[in-house]
Structure 1
Amino acid sequence: MPDYSRLVKAYDIRGEVPSQLNTGIAAKAGALFVRLTGADRIVIARDMRATSPALAAAFAAGANAAGADVIDAGLGSTDYLYYCSGSLDLPGVMITASHNPARDNGIKLCRAGAAPIGEDTGLAEIRAWLEHDDIPAPAPVPGTTVRRDLLAQYAAHLNSLVDLGGIRRLKVAADAGNGMAGHTVPAVFAGLPLDLVPLYFELDGTFPHHEANPLDPANLRDLQDLVRRSGADIGLAFDGDADRCFFIDETGEPVSPSAIVGLVAARELARNPGSAIIHNVITSAAAVEIIREHGGTPVRSRVGHSFMKAQMAEHQAVFGGEHSGHYYFRDFWRADTGMLTALHVLAALGEQDRPLSELVAGYSRYAASGEINSRVTDIAGTLDAVEAAYRDRDGITTDRLDGLTVAFADGRWFNLRPSNTEPLLRLNVEAPDGSSLAPLRDEVLDVIRRPAAEPAAG
């Protein structure tokens, strides 16, 4: 029997194909999705992995058997699926494993209007139904599946949200990582004042050049080299399902995602004065300062799209950003979209004459450690030990909104939070400068890794 406790995760259904996820499970998930949403019509899209067509067809067949009609929107990015769900006001399904290795695949689900479905909003029920093999009986009249390509409408909608018509012409190097940006970028950029220098735009779910995960610096090197060689004004690095975008400046150096949060927040606040902006617990303090300086209200959130989207809705926020490269927009059904973020950054760059490195310098104020992972045997006990080591010191505040955050009166802070899927603690440290960051980083790691803990790569 499949181990559904490992297959159905916090935000999606994801595992190795066919040992963990197969067409039989996908068909059951399709029927259960119809039960969960009560929908009589859904929309489905898929990425370029070799196993995606069969899984998409099986999911659609399961939904049809449960009585729902299916719109097959074909190949697309995850934010393309969110567009389909939002514009059609239908529950949506994306077949993708994002940046995971080629052997994996997955199923992302949302309700009508791209509203997220996570563990607390439906996935736990689907897991329980699968574990008990509680699958709906076939409907008296099965649904049908029809093909409908909405790529042109998706591109037009994004371009309606950001005007690039008056910018200076830019040379843009983009690395699709053989993922879905190779399909969506040409459609969105067509007709814009951009000279595109494509890298790895061939759709290939085996990822022959590098993993489609821009969070790993090793996967940015080819794009960094291309930016330097081609004289590009900017580099864009997309993950496998293209819902995240990372940025490289004209010198070939990565731009902090927190700087992008500040930059886009400033643009959105210029159009929507006084609005709330959501940021997660590991976003730089600089972004929070910039939100306030531009008249916005910063709202702190746990890491993860279900938490970010819930906060977006609760506070009617115009924008939300995570240091992991996920960016959320009220005008895009509060969903995350790397492509719309790219358009905002391109507009900001092209509307003035400075290079990207100078443009983002004003949004990057502090030194950051990056994420450091430690493998531990007792997650809760280690968090308690770290909190105990700091909470009684003068001028220190602690909170447990997401893991443990410890803030110092001199502007230093760190966050330590558990991984959703592995026995890891993830540490992020920020300080006014490198000389004050390094000692704090090393001190916290020493507490984390005593003696029942062992270091993990990354």
Structure 2
Amino acid sequence: MAPTFGTSGLRGLVTDLTDDVIARYTLAFLHACPHGGRLFVGRDLRPSSPTIAGVVIEAAREAGVDVVDCGVLPTPALAQASLAAGAAAVMVTGSHIPADRNGLKFYVPTGEITKDDEAAISHAYSDGSAPQGEARGSLSQKDAIADYADRMVSALGQGPLLGQRIGVYRHSSVARDVLESVLSRLGAETVPLGHSDTFIPVDTEAVDPETRSRLAGWASDHGLHAIVSTDGDGDRPMVADNAGRIVPGDVLGVLTAQVLGARIVVTPVSSNDMITHLPLDTVHLTRIGSPFVIAEMERVLAANPDARVVGFEANGGFLLGFTATLSGPLSPLMTRDCLLPIVAPLARMATEGKSLSDLIATLPSRYTAADRIQDIDTTRSAEFLRQLDTDPEVRSEFFDSTGAVEDVDRTDGLRVILAGGDTVHLRPSGNAPEFRIYAQANSQDRANDLVATYRDRVAAMVR
């Protein structure tokens, strides 16, 4: 399958991401989008990422664009650096998907590319369009991680995590070192866990049972207040409480929004709908993917530049749209970030002398669960979802055993509201041959049961 744009960036099998394909997409991006004369380049820890980054750098330089090589770093650290410099950026990463796949995330000088930008890049790629520089671009290096860490530490102040013993699941997260450093500088005692020199695809939105078991064991064995980690490129957080139980990313988003004093929240339709029951000015629900969240946040800010708006996704990636004040100012960062939704709830936990589960207990009682089916037949999955969407009888029969269908939301995929308030949301992944199943209910057991039930039913239809 040829590389394609999904919910966030270009993705494809490494075998399909040939030097020619990577070079042509780099040139198409530089031709179709503003770049300010410079391109910042970063990469994750996948085995294929150094080679792909090298191709991106060489293609840009040959086109007359100056390149700043930022090396191995989290995606939000690269974005922060390029935004501050008024430059474009390319992050070489496949995020949370397996190591046999990789991809490119593109940033213009004002932030993440839009869906319109994606279309323009694809058109330029098909045409073979490329910028024509008069001279070969220069190459320099930059340590962008230090500024990324300093932004968070200066905002949180001295010692907000004193007395906290925090495990850091290192696996192959590109953020593992900066995460330990920031937590230590904020006063926490960090315990490194599970370091791996082999790439491990960690999906913060669908953590596998083996990982959940390891987290519970580590929490007990080391007497931890929490365990933290991220996905592969460090734009999605993973947090577990003192029992090793995963805190869903959208719950982290709610807790973080409260710490920041946000008044407007933008989040995809797949997020926990507890957010609609909180005392906020407005909640905007979007399609899944950071480009849609960013576009809506930009619309809010265009109407009111002083809006205290934030965005987050069910995977936990958090976007800050205003200058927040904690112990010090925290500047906006309109791209998915892992650090803020990790440290903000931990700081609140320490300040209030509560556990993460205590903090969550103060929120509306609404529970989510999610899972995915991998290696699907994309043609079959599209036809299956089309039938459910267009034929009420097929839809009613498919969902009948768990409740009558009361309403349908087609914002992204098919989200079915069942009698009693349960929801089941079915959606093919935009980044890989996977199918996502989300559920919401008034108890965690019920949400888990719904996901398990529909995972088996959907798998029989899409494989």
Q: TM-score range by the shorter chain?
A: 0.7 to 0.9
Kindly tell me: are residues 444 and 454 of structure 1, through their superposed partners in 2, closer, same or farther at Cα, counting changes over 3 Å? Answer: closer
2:97 aligned partner: 100
SS, match of residue 242 in structure 1: coil
- Is 1:89 aligned to 2:86, yes or no? yes
**Stretches of structure 2 lacking an aligned partner (at least 5 in a row):** 302-307, 322-330
1:302 aligned partner: 287
Kindly tell me: are residues 431 and 197 of structure 1, through their superposed partners in 2, closer, same or farther at Cα, counting changes over 3 Å? Answer: same
Kindly tell me: are residues 386 and 27 of structure 1, through their superposed partners in 2, closer, same or farther at Cα, counting changes over 3 Å? Answer: same
- Is 1:426 aligned to 2:436, yes or no? yes
1:222 aligned partner: 214
SS, match of residue 120 in structure 2: helix
Quote how far apart the aligned CAs of 1:181 are.
Answer: 1.8
**Is the contact between residue 34 and residue 108 of structure 2 (CA under 8 Å) also seen in structure 1?**
no
2:384 aligned partner: 378
**Is the contact between residue 379 and residue 425 of structure 1 (CA under 8 Å) also seen in structure 2?**
no
SS, match of residue 16 in structure 2: coil
Kindly tell me: are residues 36 and 414 of structure 1, through their superposed partners in 2, closer, same or farther at Cα, counting changes over 3 Å? Answer: same
Quote how far apart the aligned CAs of 1:233 are.
Answer: 0.5
CA distance in 2, matches of 1:8, 1:189: 34
**Is the contact between residue 48 and residue 180 of structure 1 (CA under 8 Å) also seen in structure 2?**
yes
CA distance in 1, matches of 2:51, 2:152: 30
- Is 1:337 aligned to 2:337, yes or no? yes
Quote how far apart the aligned CAs of 1:24 are.
Answer: 3.1
Quote how far apart the aligned CAs of 1:171 are.
Answer: 0.5
Quote how far apart the aligned CAs of 1:444 are.
Answer: 7.1
2:236 aligned partner: 244
Deviating more after overlay: 372-381 vs 296-305: 372-381
Kindly tell me: are residues 164 and 286 of structure 1, through their superposed partners in 2, closer, same or farther at Cα, counting changes over 3 Å? Answer: farther
Q: Among residues 197, 202, 210, which one is paired with 1:212 in the alignment?
A: 202
CA distance in 1, matches of 2:223, 2:152: 27
2:70 aligned partner: 73
Give the fraction of aligned pairs with identical amino acids, expressed as a percent.
24
Amino acid at match of 1:211: P
CA distance in 2, matches of 1:75, 1:439: 40
Quote how far apart the aligned CAs of 1:307 are.
Answer: 0.7
Quote how far apart the aligned CAs of 1:108 are.
Answer: 0.8
- Is 1:321 aligned to 2:318, yes or no? no
1:43 aligned partner: 40
CA distance in 2, matches of 1:200, 1:240: 14
2:270 aligned partner: 282
Deviating more after overlay: 51-60 vs 298-307: 51-60
Quote how far apart the aligned CAs of 1:439 are.
Answer: 8.7
1:260 aligned partner: 252
Amino acid at match of 1:307: F
Quote how far apart the aligned CAs of 1:230 are.
Answer: 0.6
CA distance in 2, matches of 1:403, 1:14: 20
**Is the contact between residue 316 and residue 341 of structure 2 (CA under 8 Å) also seen in structure 1?**
no
CA distance in 2, matches of 1:101, 1:395: 35
TM-score (norm 1): 0.84
| Paired residues for 1:17-36 under 5 Å | 17=14, 19-36=15-32
CA distance in 1, matches of 2:454, 2:246: 26
RMSD of aligned Cα (Å): 3.1
Kindly tell me: are residues 350 and 456 of structure 1, through their superposed partners in 2, closer, same or farther at Cα, counting changes over 3 Å? Answer: farther
SS, match of residue 105 in structure 1: strand
Amino acid at match of 1:42: L
1:90-139, Cα deviation, whole Å (9 max, x unpaired): 111111122222233221101113x2225x2323333333344x142652
**Is the contact between residue 280 and residue 308 of structure 1 (CA under 8 Å) also seen in structure 2?**
yes
**Stretches of structure 1 lacking an aligned partner (at least 5 in a row):** none
Deviating more after overlay: 307-316 vs 434-443: 434-443
Kindly tell me: are residues 41 and 444 of structure 1, through their superposed partners in 2, closer, same or farther at Cα, counting changes over 3 Å? Answer: closer
Amino acid at match of 1:344: A
**Is the contact between residue 259 and residue 364 of structure 1 (CA under 8 Å) also seen in structure 2?**
no
Quote how far apart the aligned CAs of 1:259 are.
Answer: 2.1
| Paired residues for 1:334-373 under 5 Å | 334-363=334-363, 365-371=365-371, 373=373
**Is the contact between residue 276 and residue 319 of structure 1 (CA under 8 Å) also seen in structure 2?**
yes
Kindly tell me: are residues 105 and 414 of structure 1, through their superposed partners in 2, closer, same or farther at Cα, counting changes over 3 Å? Answer: closer
1:352-389, Cα deviation, whole Å (9 max, x unpaired): 11222222222361343434659744321222235875
**Is the contact between residue 11 and residue 432 of structure 2 (CA under 8 Å) also seen in structure 1?**
no
**Is the contact between residue 251 and residue 357 of structure 1 (CA under 8 Å) also seen in structure 2?**
no
- Is 1:144 aligned to 2:127, yes or no? no
CA distance in 2, matches of 1:191, 1:314: 36
Q: Which structure's relative contact order is higher, taking Cα pairs within 8 Å and 6+ residues apart? A: 2
